[in-house]
Amino acid sequence: MSPSGPQAAARPGELTVTAERCAAQLLGGDPAGSAEEVAGRLLAIQAQDLRGARLTVRARSAGLSAADVDSGLTQRRSLIVTWLNRGTLHLVCTEDYWWLHPLTTPQLRTGNSRRLAQEGVPPEDAERAVATVQAALAADGPLTRSQLRERVAAAGVRTEAQAMVHILMLASIRGLIVRGQVTGREQAFVLVRDWLGPPPAAMSREAALGELARRYLAGHAPAADRDLARWAAIGLRDARLGLARSGAIPRADGLAELPANRPRAAAALPPPMLCGAFDPLLLGWASRAPIVGPHQQIVTVNGLFRPFALAGGRAIATWNIAGGHVVLAPFAPLDAQTQAALTTDAADVMRFLGE
């Protein structure tokens, strides 16, 4: 792609870091062969938009389909979705749930209590609601949010507006439930004890911080302590402790990497491609400016991250699906080579989604 506009303004050093990060994200080089491989590399994929999480897997793999992601959630039970990190839903490998959950959810409790109160759910009602959710899933699970809403409302607890979401979040923070089985267009909730079985031996907090930093760098390096703190919603002191325990190596540019990351310094920028909503490339670091440049409209005023096209290491368009086709909204005219590459990738998006 011939650089123009915002891409021409990107500094060579900035594009080198972007290329390294794209390689860490599996957007360049050998693609992943499974949804679990993508989730394992990225550690936690934002997933309140489940189609966006599926498209995160597509952009980093070859030969898979959305059904492969759903199979990991439903048949293999190797993937789950739950509230982690920044207090939003994330897709993770089941084996990583056991240490990520106790590390990243305690700090969510205060905000959850505040939101329940704002939604008109006092503590005694919240307790009754969680008990109702547990009993319903034990007797009849898996159950969708709408099915659980009916049970909780029948118990006399307010479920209107965002109340039900925060009730389910409370049960998740307590380690009682996760999202597992995909049922039609919805993902059902399940009891952790029934769906995942007994937990492994607990990991100490310091060991978990080291594992968090190591795994974060595997999928995001080069990065700084503030990047890790922002991504995982942990304190800067904890981020630095984790990096110290991870074996991270400081670089001259102030960023850190793992010894195994060093070959990525020769990485090339990925080819033009379509990324889904809430793609990790926009969420993995304290600043997304190197990718979006001046095009802040990728993120809406209510915090939604639109699907976007990537070329030359920068966002060059948003896109959606309308009338059974991918429709691009470029920020500037695209050259023929970039347009052709994105047309080919759009066909793969539709194949992957089965639409």
User: Following DSSP, what letter does each residue of 179-228 receive, concatenated?
Assistant: EEEEETTEEEEEEHHHHT-S--PPPPHHHHHHHHHHHHHHHH-SB-HHHH
Which residues form the domain of 35? Answer: 30-202
Structure token digits, residue 252 = 């001259």
Residue 72 lies inside a defined structural domain of this protein = yes
Residues 187, 79 contacting (CB under 8 angstroms): no
Residue 267: strand, helix, or coil: coil
Query: Of the candidates 16, 3, 1, 6, which has an alpha carbon nearest to the alpha carbon of residue 295?
Result: 6
- For residues 38 and 179, membership in a common domain is answered with yes
Residue 14 lies inside a defined structural domain of this protein = no
Query: Of the candidates 329, 335, 291, 295, which has an alpha carbon nearest to the alpha carbon of residue 313?
Result: 291
Average pLDDT estimate for 39-66: 98
Structure token digits, residue 269 = 């920028």
Query: Of the candidates 152, 131, 133, which has an alpha carbon nearest to the alpha carbon of residue 141?
Result: 133
Which of 162, 182, 202 is at the close of a domain?
202
Q: How many domains does the chain have?
A: 2
Residue 245 lies inside a defined structural domain of this protein = no
Residues 231, 283 contacting (CB under 8 angstroms): yes
Instruction: Could you list the beta-strand ranges (E) of the chain.
Output: 45-46, 79-84, 88-93, 177-183, 186-191, 249-250, 256-257, 273-275, 308-311, 314-322, 325-330
pLDDT tops 50 at residue 38 = yes
- For residues 198 and 278, membership in a common domain is answered with no
| Per-residue pLDDT at 184 | 87
| Per-residue pLDDT at 13 | 82
Residue 86 lies inside a defined structural domain of this protein = yes
pLDDT tops 70 at residue 12 = no
At 181-232, the pLDDT tens digits run 998 889 999 999 999 999 999 999 999 999 999 999 999 999 999 999 999 9
| Per-residue pLDDT at 11 | 63
The sign of the CA dihedral 254, 32, 65, 68 is negative
pLDDT confidence of 265, banded at 50, 70, 90? Answer: confident
Average pLDDT estimate for 305-333: 97
- For residues 158 and 79, membership in a common domain is answered with yes
Distance of alpha carbon 334 from alpha carbon 343, whole angstroms: 12
pLDDT confidence of 8, banded at 50, 70, 90? Answer: very low
Which of 187, 202, 217 is at the close of a domain?
202
